Amino acid sequence: MATTAATGTRLTLPDNRLAAQLVGAHGAHLAQVEQLMGVRIAHRGNEFTITGEAADAAHDVLRALYERLEAGRGVDMGAIDGLIRLRGDDGEVRPGDQAEMFPPESLEIRTRKKTMEPRTEAQRAYVRSLLSHELTFGIGPAGTGKTYIAVAVAVSKFISGEVDRIILTRPAVEAGEKLGFLPGTQDEKVDPYMQPLYDALNDFLPGKQLQKLREDKRVEIAPLAFMRGRTLSNAFVILDEAQNTTTMQMKMFLTRLGQGSVMAITGDRSQVDLPRGVQSGLRDAEGILRGVEGVGFNYFTAQDVVRHPLVARIIDAYDADDAKREAARNVHRDAPDRP
């Protein structure tokens, strides 16, 4: 039940136990809503007073999160962030947003260690594409969850028996450091490039199980060069950092697809580390494969960044600088030659 006071909006929740879960440990959930929506929330037991310009919208968010708890589903930082992102430009939670964020059939990806939910509309479209296409591209800036979501879907499909193996790969392109000067064996030199993939897998599979699966070659993590000559059947295959593939490498990888397999290709066109003059295989694939049946393209922007909010602002600043530089180059190119 909600009432409106002169200084804000009040919300009374019927279940004290669920109200405590909504508040979170040490008020962490309310603090997140306050930070993201620019409101103040005071509570005593199951009664909440919300003040600020977005008080009504924050009221709707709290109510939607409470309904989620009533349905037996947990509330965490990701769920809060996701629901707030679904607000319209006017700041209101529109009719149906709650159902779309937490639909009955759900877009939850369940794994051994955790359940992952997409937080933005682009992420939701990406999950749908991964579940319905044999080949899915996820293209956009760092921090938008492209690889993380793909790994979650891969683990989910592996657990359910839809695929027999998970294969994760990325090109070992040098970005300012020479591999030959790093200490250790070849595997030890390559491992740092694979670390983001290890990190994602560790989030979804228990350590001992992951170690056993790797020993049994049911989970493989290897540089892209190791894919040559293989046919990857009944596997979920992820190519990460695809912007650093050449055209030939991309074609080689795509033609590894075997029966019963699914491929996900992720990349960020703004972070190409290839030598000057070498065309990115990701960019070529976009033009060549668009419209091909069974291939899905999904794009992310800074608005989909789910890391620290500052990351989105950093990406926006770099994009704006790139746009200014490109405009300056065009002006210079179009300027008439001086006699």
pLDDT tens-place string over residues 67-84: 888 888 778 877 787 777
User: For the chain, what is the mean pLDDT?
Assistant: 82
* Residue type present at position 187: D
β-pair partners for 169: 222, 239
In sign, the C-alpha dihedral spanning 161, 156, 126, 228 is negative
Per DSSP, which regions of the chain are E strands? Answer: 2-5, 8-12, 40-44, 47-51, 109-110, 115-116, 135-139, 165-170, 219-223, 235-239, 262-267, 295-299
What class, spelled out in words, does domain 2-101 have in CATH?
alpha beta
Distance CA 282, CA 147 (A): 15
pLDDT value for 201: 92
Residue ranges of the chain that CATH labels 3.30.1370.10: 2-101
Q: What is the pTM of this model?
A: 0.71
Residue ranges of the chain that CATH labels 3.40.50.300: 112-322
Pairing mode, if any, of strands 295-299 and 219-223? unpaired
Distance CA 136, CA 286 (A): 11
In sign, the C-alpha dihedral spanning 218, 222, 226, 230 is positive
pLDDT value for 6: 45
Distance CA 263, CA 163 (A): 11
Residues of the chain with pLDDT under 50: 1, 4-6, 88-105, 175-179
pLDDT value for 187: 57
Tallying the residues shown for the chain, one arrives at 339
Q: Specify the CATH number of the domain 112-322.
A: 3.40.50.300
- What three-state secondary structure class fits 228? coil
